[in-house]
Structure 1
């Protein structure tokens, strides 16, 4: 009996998440109502409120899930220090490619920047140590350098997504890492 409830809960949450993502493709979050999400998901509003406070809470949970999944995916790979930045960048891009639809919607079509900021934090935690090790200037400058590198990298990724991933993750990783290392030297 508990297993059925868990499967029902998972299904309900999945349908609600999918419905919000589908609606975000056509309008901003502020223009979406819980009623619309429920109609799209064919779920009762009281069921929605059993799982989420409002549609902002639902979006937050979607973002948290993607970020946690991204961290797990990146932590599963252990690279030698010298190749770590390149391989981590490739793995990050492969993950984004595997979740193309949701990443495209949250990074490009959704005007709220919270997901972009969360992705920037993931990238910062996995990549910046490698990139800033190459910079031998003032350590106080590293926060500015990391912000510049990560912001540029996120915009390259957004451009790549908007061009329907017209290049491989390896090619985009090459571009990002080349610019990062050449700009620091």
Structure 2
């Protein structure tokens, strides 16, 4: 039973470190974050930090790896399930719901001091899945058309996410998913429709 208590304590400590880190990262670049200030904000000592991480970059790497795997896991049922077949609304809602549940990760992805390589990695995963699904769903579309659609839709979705983050994520993931779908499917006509 002792091990279970230790596991819980480790999870809580890492959660405090992660929360403090994302809070600092929302205000300044990673290069300007010191271990000392991170530990003070997290309410831990430096020894505790170093028991879990080699440095601040190892912390960021672990957080990003966990997020990448969670993001991939969140996408799998949508992209492999036969009922949805790549429905853009369902995919958008699932992504927005995932990000709302992991709102501190939005800081890492979309904040002023975001890791652009990590965002590219996530977009690459989305592109790979989108091409696989849309090639089947739209057999007459060329690969170039699908890639252009993905570039347009993903950039627009990032803009929606930034706006949502700026507003404090008060709208539901479902509302944002429907909005993204309407904008993607109706284009400028979306502005003529009541919300």
Q: TM-score if structure 1 supplies the norm length?
A: 0.78
Preserved contact between residue 23 and residue 32 of structure 1 (Cα < 8 Å): yes
Q: Which moved more, 1:151-160 or 1:170-179?
A: 170-179
Classify 1:4/1:173 alpha carbon distance in 2 versus 1 (closer, same or farther; 3 Å). Answer: closer
Unmatched runs of 5 consecutive residues or more in structure 2: 188-195
Q: How many residues align?
A: 182
> Residue 31 of structure 1: CA displacement?
0.8
Residue-by-residue CA offset, 1:106-138 (whole Å, 9 max, x unaligned):
222433324433442443355454455437343
Structure 1 position 54 matched with structure 2 position 55: yes
Q: 2:156 aligns with which of 148, 152, 157?
A: 152
Unmatched runs of 5 consecutive residues or more in structure 1: none
Other-structure match for 2:107: 105
Q: 2:91 aligns with which of 88, 92, 95?
A: 88
Q: Which moved more, 1:88-97 or 1:124-133?
A: 124-133
Classify 1:138/1:75 alpha carbon distance in 2 versus 1 (closer, same or farther; 3 Å). Answer: closer
Q: TM-score if structure 2 supplies the norm length?
A: 0.74
Runs of 4+ more than 6 Å apart: none
Classify 1:127/1:156 alpha carbon distance in 2 versus 1 (closer, same or farther; 3 Å). Answer: farther
Preserved contact between residue 131 and residue 181 of structure 1 (Cα < 8 Å): no
Preserved contact between residue 74 and residue 98 of structure 2 (Cα < 8 Å): yes
Alpha carbon RMSD of aligned pairs, Å? 2.9
Structure 1 position 165 matched with structure 2 position 159: no
Classify 1:130/1:180 alpha carbon distance in 2 versus 1 (closer, same or farther; 3 Å). Answer: farther
